[in-house]
Amino acid sequence: MKQWGIILIPLLLLSACTQQPITEITDTPINVYFCEQTDCDKILAEHINNSENANCALYSLTSNTVKEALKKKNARIVIDYRNKKQATGLQYKSIYQEKAAMHNKFCIIDNKIITGSYNPHSQTANNMIIIPSPTLAHNYLEEFNELWGTTKSRKTKNTRIYLNTTLIENYFCPEDNCKEKVTGTISAANKSIHFMTYSFTDDKIGRILLEKSRKITVKGIFDKSQINKWSEHPKLKNLAVAKKGIHHKVFIVDENIVITGSANPTSNGYTKNDENIIIIHDKNIAKEFLREFNSLNE
């Protein structure tokens, strides 16, 4: 019996490590919006109004347009306790965490997910991405139900999927080791890294970018309001500019991969807060984010 135990455990670990991404086929494209250029409130509200079911986990919610749509659908809302008054009149639960935040910005609307850096209503440079995937919708709904208190823990298995030919990875922080996923992706860059960040204090990521800059192109944009003694800006100031009103949490790798979501590259973002990140391997989507980068870098 002991011999079976010795053999079985490595086999189980091997099976878990070699799980293949599932593939979904759709005619509906992934849509990316940049909220200083487009009315993200209006677009989100339209999707909610046209849905059968809507569930949202939002750090903050000040858009009356989105609130009205959520109210009509009797949607469930999870919101950080600091901003619970913003959800008055809605079906909501506030999340309290000492020294941490429920910092997500996502909605599950029928069989698609809407995520990114956008809080309804935010006037700063944000992104909102809409992905038509039943698998991702299921993953995000599991995370939502854990936050809502319906379930004790999430059981998501398919964290990597192919939507047609586009590989998408989705992770929830802190339980999915988001920092490792980010550092692994940027460390593998062999051509370029562009970043747009609101708060950026993670020293390891700063060091990786500095090292990579000796061999490849590294350019960035910091939010000016977040430059302080903890910021990575002094280390990377020769590679980046500082602008007002930058709320993105984005890395663009080799003009082919985009990391986005709610998590800032900070200790809280990756290891304490409730957050989500999406890694999209698609050159056309990367091209849209690069256009945003270039427009903000002018």
pLDDT in tens, 16-69: 444 688 999 999 999 999 999 999 999 999 999 999 999 999 999 999 999 999
Whether omega for the bond prior to residue 121 falls within 30 degrees of 0, making it cis, is: yes
CA 101 to chain centre: 15
Element (H, E) at 203: helix 203-212
Look-up of token digits 């995520």: 115
28-158 under CATH 3.30.870.10, yes or no? yes
Q: Does domain 170-296 have CATH number 3.30.870.10?
A: yes
Give the residue ranges of DSSP H helices in the chain: 2-17, 40-49, 64-72, 134-148, 178-187, 203-212, 233-236, 267-271, 283-296
3-state secondary structure of 283: helix
Q: How confident is the model at residue 162 (pLDDT cuts 50, 70, 90)?
A: very high
Question: Could you tell me where the DSSP H helices lie in 50-177?
Answer: 64-72, 134-148
pTM (2 d.p.): 0.92
Q: How far apart are CA 65 and CA 107, in angstroms?
A: 15
Cβ atoms 258, 282 nearer than 8 A: yes
Which residues belong to CATH 3.30.870.10 in the chain?
A: 28-158, 170-296
Q: 193-245: per-residue pLDDT in tens?
A: 999 999 999 999 999 999 999 999 999 999 999 999 999 999 999 999 999 99
In the DSSP assignment, the letter for residue 63 is -
